[in-house]
Amino acid sequence: MPYTIKIINLEKTIHAQKGELLADKILEYGIDLSVYCQKKALCGKCFIEILEGNLPPLDEIEDFLLRKNRLSQSHRLACRYKITGDLAINIPPESLLQKTFILKTGIKLPLAIDTFVKKYFGEINKPGLDHPHSLLSEWGKHLRKKQLRIQLKLLQTLPGILKDSKQKVTTVLYDDNEILAVEPGDTTEKSFGLAVDLGTTTLVVELIDLNTGESIDAATENNAQMKYGMDIVSRISFAYQKPDNLKKLQAVIIKNLSHMIESLLEKNHIPQDHVYEIVFAGNTAMNHLLLGISVDTLAVSPFHAVFHRLSAFTANELGIRLNLNAKAYVAPNIKSFVGGDISSGLQATDLASHKGNLLFVDLGTNGEIVLKTEKKFVATSTAAGPAFEGMNISSGMLALPGAIFKVEKKNRLILHTIRKEKPQGICGTGLIDLIALLLDEGKITPSGKISGEKDTIRITEKIAISQKDVREIQLAVAAVKTGIQMICEKYRIKKVDLDMVYIAGAFGNYLDTKNAMRIGLLPDIDPAKIVYVGNASLAGARALLLSRPARKRTESLIRKVEYVSLASDPRFQDCFIDSLNFGDGNSSR
């Protein structure tokens, strides 16, 4: 006859047979008990409080973890507790799986934290005459793992650290099989990682607490590679000229990132030794340049990448100084022109597991478009250029304090700036609002001509829109519009058939749907179907940093997505020229 286990604080009752493991039963009933250490009695995160029922004596390990966690004597590890009778228990909130939300805008998708990097505190036994093991085998016993990989340099330091810390150390394990670091005392609370959005125009580095998944701080800077080429194509050409240029491009971005990371860590009082992993999400060319890998094959037909998927290597190899053995992982490229920024974006939105006809559009310097139907999972890319990031626009700027990000007309023109600072320039969303407004007012014709005599429209004393600026926006919009239209047509998906359109990109929530539709950037559909997911590339990098299953899913996802080349489609030219007209125009075909 099964025993009854009442979980008082969760108001649930579960049943179990004699001898079954309490942790297994709790998990079986769908309760998210933390099994951080895979039920090895290492982490002490699955303590439950026994209110009624058998309270077996504490073993040495439980006692150690109980004291470490300052819990009452009525707590036991669920991963050690064998059921022998009816029970009434509490599962403390701390013993439930840590979850975090990866996307900051749009949709709320909880992600269970299961990092590659895990820290365990404990006392390493001294080998004795009666157990003549080696220090390393005692370590393996402590971590319940027979064979552990360790770098020679780290192994050399182990005896000293152990001696100095009186055998009480925190071990940093990577993917359960490699010792990354060993630190004296209990440093389990101090575990950090970095997620990097490796944009062509903008770099974002986010500092993340690997224990909680919480974003601690972030830094945004212009990509310093811009001095060698504003867009990715000109950087590929520059690298193609001579091998030294590739080195220059790599050096400049490493310096750029190193500086950002240093400042972030300093500002948040986190020593670099406590940062154990960095994950990069960037387009294919950007991540090749980051790794110093030739982009020559991306410069000429058939435009192929050197790699799509790489195992984690060390940040040190890359010249980025974190913990000596910290790992670096690059979100895998889907195809030559659909890179790790998109694979991570798809991971962040969990597109692969949603049903219906879904469109994912990343409005970055490259406009990547992914269509998922019941039958197909296809991606394409369009060269939008950096106009949406305020580049190549006379009064343009990044979405930084002082940027006009929203423009309204209520009797008079109202300019909203970031942090309400004095207008410094205009960023992507502001430009889109402005063009829509000027179209409505007839100050710009549907073909993009500034009406009247002057070829400049003044907004403030310092800020104006030139004919050239309008042309830049027009080209960027047309690129995206053509892409969406052609991919939908190819797979016979009409606008009305679209169940959801995810808009990713630095635009975030600022993009005004009505205005975006007005100029033709977004298809003219039910606005409720449009979801702004913000910087999904960065969010995906965060997911890849925080979740081993997410990384696994992404690595298998990239094999499923097909690439469709727009440029090789004979209808491309016509469609592009048609798309140059502002508005939804021909997209209803």
Residues 6+ apart with CB under 8 A from 346: 352, 360, 370, 540, 554, 557, 561
Among 556, 84, 125, smallest CA distance to 343 is for: 556
- Segment interacting with its own copies (CB under 8 A) among 59-67, 132-140, 190-198, 199-207: 132-140
Q: How far is the CB of 228 from its own copies (least distance, A)?
A: 19
> For residues 135 and 226, which CB has a smaller minimum distance to its own copies in the complex?
135
Give CA–CA dist 285/556, Å, rounded.
21
What's the chain's Rg over C-alpha atoms?
Answer: 27
In terms of residues, how long is the chain?
A: 589
For tokens 């009816």, name the residue.
86
Give CA–CA dist 180/210, Å, rounded.
15
Residues 6+ apart with CB under 8 A from 439: 446, 518, 519, 582, 583
> Which residue from 30, 57, 128, 570 is in contact with its own copies, where contact means CB under 8 A?
128
> Which residue from 170, 336, 429, 485 is in contact with its own copies, where contact means CB under 8 A?
336
Q: How far is the CB of 26 from its own copies (least distance, A)?
A: 35
Give the distance from CA 286 to its chain's centroid: 16
> Which residue from 57, 302, 452, 570 is in contact with its own copies, where contact means CB under 8 A?
302
> Which residue from 31, 112, 252, 310 is in contact with its own copies, where contact means CB under 8 A?
310
> For residues 99 and 133, which CB has a smaller minimum distance to its own copies in the complex?
133
Among 530, 514, 521, 444, smallest CA distance to 478 is for: 521
Give CA–CA dist 478/120, Å, rounded.
53
Q: How far is the CB of 155 from its own copies (least distance, A)?
A: 6
> Which residue from 6, 12, 133, 144 is in contact with its own copies, where contact means CB under 8 A?
133
- Segment interacting with its own copies (CB under 8 A) among 53-61, 188-196, 310-318, 430-438: 310-318
Q: How far is the CB of 43 from its own copies (least distance, A)?
A: 25
- Structural contact between residues 47 and 66, judged by C-beta atoms closer than 8 angstroms: yes
- Number of H-type helices and E-type strands within the chain: 16, 28
Q: How far is the CB of 314 from its own copies (least distance, A)?
A: 8
Residues 557-586 as x/- pattern, contact with its own copies by CB under 8 A = ------x-x--x------------------
> For residues 179 and 264, which CB has a smaller minimum distance to its own copies in the complex?
179
Residue 311, interface with its own copies (CB under 8 A)? yes
> For residues 291 and 434, which CB has a smaller minimum distance to its own copies in the complex?
291
Sort residue 442 into left (φ over 0), alpha (ψ -120 to 50) or beta. left
- Structural contact between residues 148 and 139, judged by C-beta atoms closer than 8 angstroms: yes
Residue 318, interface with its own copies (CB under 8 A)? yes
H helix intervals, 43-151? 60-68, 135-142
Residue 254, interface with its own copies (CB under 8 A)? no
Residues 6+ apart with CB under 8 A from 320: 254, 257, 258, 261, 278, 328
What is the b/e burial string over 285-308, where b = at least 16 CB atoms within 10 angstroms of the residue's CB? bbbbbbbbbebebbeeeeeebeeb
Distances (CA, A) of 546 to 101, 161, 186, 552: 11, 28, 22, 12
Q: How far is the CB of 133 from its own copies (least distance, A)?
A: 7
Of the chain, the end-to-end C-alpha distance in Å amounts to 67
Encoding tokens for residue 386? 């950096």
> Which residue from 70, 108, 153, 419 is in contact with its own copies, where contact means CB under 8 A?
153
Q: How far is the CB of 345 from its own copies (least distance, A)?
A: 19
Site for its own copies in 353-372 (CB under 8 A): none
> For residues 465 and 564, which CB has a smaller minimum distance to its own copies in the complex?
564
Give CA–CA dist 542/376, Å, rounded.
27
Site for its own copies in 378-437 (CB under 8 A): none
Residues 206-245 as x/- pattern, contact with its own copies by CB under 8 A = -------------------------------------x--
Residue 303, interface with its own copies (CB under 8 A)? yes
> For residues 53 and 127, which CB has a smaller minimum distance to its own copies in the complex?
127
Give CA–CA dist 115/553, Å, rounded.
14
> For residues 75 and 288, which CB has a smaller minimum distance to its own copies in the complex?
288
Residue 193 is classified by DSSP as: E
Which element (helix H / strand E) includes 22?
helix 22-28
Residue 43, interface with its own copies (CB under 8 A)? no
- Structural contact between residues 446 and 582, judged by C-beta atoms closer than 8 angstroms: yes
Give CA–CA dist 33/97, Å, rounded.
5
Q: How far is the CB of 296 from its own copies (least distance, A)?
A: 6
Q: How far is the CB of 551 from its own copies (least distance, A)?
A: 13
What is the b/e burial string over 321-334, where b = at least 16 CB atoms within 10 angstroms of the residue's CB? bbbbbbbbbbbbbb
Residue 291, interface with its own copies (CB under 8 A)? yes
Residue 184, interface with its own copies (CB under 8 A)? no
- Structural contact between residues 490 and 566, judged by C-beta atoms closer than 8 angstroms: no
**Half-sphere exposure at residue 282, Cβ-oriented, CA atoms within 13 angstroms:** 27
Site for its own copies in 438-497 (CB under 8 A): none
Q: How far is the CB of 336 from its own copies (least distance, A)?
A: 6
Give CA–CA dist 540/504, Å, rounded.
11
- Segment interacting with its own copies (CB under 8 A) among 182-190, 299-307, 468-476, 527-535: 299-307
> For residues 309 and 443, which CB has a smaller minimum distance to its own copies in the complex?
309
> For residues 176 and 296, which CB has a smaller minimum distance to its own copies in the complex?
296
Q: How far is the CB of 230 from its own copies (least distance, A)?
A: 25
Residue 72, interface with its own copies (CB under 8 A)? no
> For residues 30 and 132, which CB has a smaller minimum distance to its own copies in the complex?
132
> Which residue from 21, 51, 293, 531 is in contact with its own copies, where contact means CB under 8 A?
293
> Which residue from 49, 296, 499, 524 is in contact with its own copies, where contact means CB under 8 A?
296
Residue 556, interface with its own copies (CB under 8 A)? no
> Which residue from 189, 317, 408, 441 is in contact with its own copies, where contact means CB under 8 A?
317
Residues at the site binding its own copies, with contacts judged by CB under 8 A: 126-129, 132-137, 147, 149-153, 155-156, 158-160, 243, 291-294, 296-297, 301-311, 313, 317-318, 333, 335-336, 563, 565, 568
